[in-house]
Amino acid sequence: MPRTKTVKDYIRTIVDFPHEGILFRDVTTLFADPRGFRMAIDQLLHPYAGQPIDKVVGLEARGFILGGAIAHQLSVGFVPIRKKGKLPGAVISEEYQLEYGEAVVEIHDDAIVPGETILLVDDLLATGGTAEAGIKLIERLGGNILSCAFVVDLPELGGRKRIEAMGMDVHTLCEFEGL
């Protein structure tokens, strides 16, 4: 009897992208497969069944795909956190460190009502820098983060520990070793 496929089976690895020595975990193959995509959304949602969530916040860019689908399933609003300069209107910003420099993410300053319960979503948890910046933005607007959900965890890069050290619950569907 063949083994049942897992979310991890739908994710391909691309060697030396975007730099030599990197094993890029490409979730576009997961998104392209209807069974794989449905499985990922269902498994990301499962721990939160019956819990009150007011909004799903997705981190640019693949977090938009996952977050939009999850928000639809929960019948709640979706809020994007984008790279600097991509959102119209009034925003708040948060700088964070990348492997080779700094980046800035932004959220509309009226996207979250103080006291709302938020689920933060992205495709991959590596160093945790983007997720940490997103958490800080949500908290600055008064949102209460129920959990941070990711498809892939790269444990060697320490992102889970970093986010959990902030007092956050972290839910991931699979892990990959290496960078």
Would you please indicate which residues are annotated as catalytic (active-site) residues? 62, 99
Instruction: Give the residue carrying structure tokens 């449905």.
Output: 38
The upper half-sphere exposure of residue 168, i.e. CA atoms within 13 Å in the direction of its Cβ, equals 31
Handedness of CA 97, 100, 101, 107 (dihedral sign): negative
Q: Are strands 12-15 and 23-26 parallel, antiparallel or unpaired?
A: antiparallel
**Tokens encoding 1:** 């009897």
Measured distance CA(114)–CA(144) in Å, rounded? 8
